[in-house]
Every structure is written in C-alpha cells, then in structure tokens.
Amino acid sequence: MSREVGDLKAEFSFVYTCTWEIKHFSSLSTKVGDFISSGMLPGEVRDLCHVNFFLKLYPNGTEEGPEGYLSLCCEAFNMFAPYSIFDTVHIELSLLNQTGEELYQTPISRKKVMAELLSNDTLKVRFKVEGPRVKRQVEPPVDPKRDQVLKSKLVQGF
C-alpha cells in the first residue's frame, strides 16, 4: 500500500546575466579606496528581484583590503516592502578576458588585469544573478478513503 508522507517544497528561480564594460581602465584612480560604480543594473533585474543592484569597483583596493588588488562588490537596496516568499538570490561576479571567457572570481592584482585582461583598455565584468528563489509549501492531496500521514514527524525540518 502506498502513502504520501512529508512535505513537498517547490523552488522556482530565474537567471539573468549582464556585462559591465569599463573603458579607459588604465586612467582610473590608483588611490586606495577610490571607486567607480556601474549605475543601476537593467530594469529586468529589478523587476525580477524587486531590488535595485549596482556594482562598485575599487581599481586599487579598499582601505580594508590589500593595496594593489581589485575589489569588486555588488550593492543592493530594496525597492518595495520585503516579500516573504523571496528567500534568496545568488550573485556571481567575474572578470572576463579579451575573448569574453570568465577567468577570475578570486582576488587579482591591478598589474595582472593591466597585463592580461584589458582589450583596448576596457575591463569587462560579468554580473550574474539567480533568483529570487521563490519557495512555497506544497501539501500532498488528502484522500479520505486512505489512512494517510500528511506531515511525518521523521522528515519535518529537512
């Protein structure tokens, strides 16, 4: 005899990718703590996540980090009241080489960027967001003709 036990959780998410091209990279400030920003990412990302994102690049590092290394971060702020069904988004930032391949997701020195990554003095940064992950509880159907356990104590919390 078959019976349905436990909770079924459905998860649904989107993936959006865009590229930030930073022209005249070699002319950016080399002062530690100076940064540039991308401006708000396209409306599709905002509409997808209900959050505004923008990128910040510190060409020669932050005051907290090691000097001479790029520091790249994503800033976000909520546009609307928080949605309880949106649990998380996953964000990846990477530097692209001259042919558009993702090469660096780890710390890289400004010197290495200047020597290996620039094409026509342009640095390319890829922003990838997956989400929001919308989680909903799905209840198993109730069949009054069968003796069912709708929520098993053994699997709660998994």
Backbone phi, then psi, for 148, in 5-degree steps? -115, 150
The percentage of residues in the chain with a pLDDT greater than 70, rounded to a whole number, is: 62
Residue 20 burial (CB < 10 Å; 0-12/13-18/19+)?
buried
- Residue 87: the pLDDT is 57
In the chain, the number of structural domains is: 1
Least confident residue range of 6-15, 58-67, 121-130: 6-15
Instruction: Tell me whether residue 115 is in a domain.
Output: yes
The pLDDT value given to residue 150: 43
pLDDT score of 23: 94
Q: Which of 16, 11, 12 is nearest to 129 (CA)?
A: 16
In a domain? residue 146: no
- Amino acid 129: pLDDT: 82
Q: What is the pLDDT of residues 73-92, one digit of tens each?
A: 988 776 555 544 455 778 88
Whether residue 131 is contained in a domain is answered as: no
CATH number for 48: 2.60.210.10
Burial of 2 (0-12, 13-18, 19+ CB in 10 A): exposed
Given this model, what pLDDT does residue 74 score?
87
* 77, amino acid identity: F
Alpha-carbon distance 74 to 64, whole Å?
17
| 70: number of Cβ within 10 Å | 23
Residue 145 falls inside a structural domain: no
Q: Is residue 89 part of a domain?
A: no
Task: Read off the pLDDT of each residue in 116-138 and give the average, rounded to a whole number.
Answer: 79
136-148: per-residue pLDDT in tens? 555 555 555 554 4
* Strand pairing category for 51-58 and 15-23: unpaired
- Long-range pairs of 115-122 with CB within 8 A, sequence gap ≥ 24: 118/25, 118/26, 121/23, 121/24, 121/25, 121/26, 121/27, 122/21, 122/22, 122/23, 122/24, 122/25
Domain span at 25: 15-83+97-126
Measured between alpha carbons, how far is 89 from 68 in angstroms, rounded to an integer? 30
Q: Is residue 23 part of a domain?
A: yes
Q: What is the pLDDT of residue 41?
A: 77
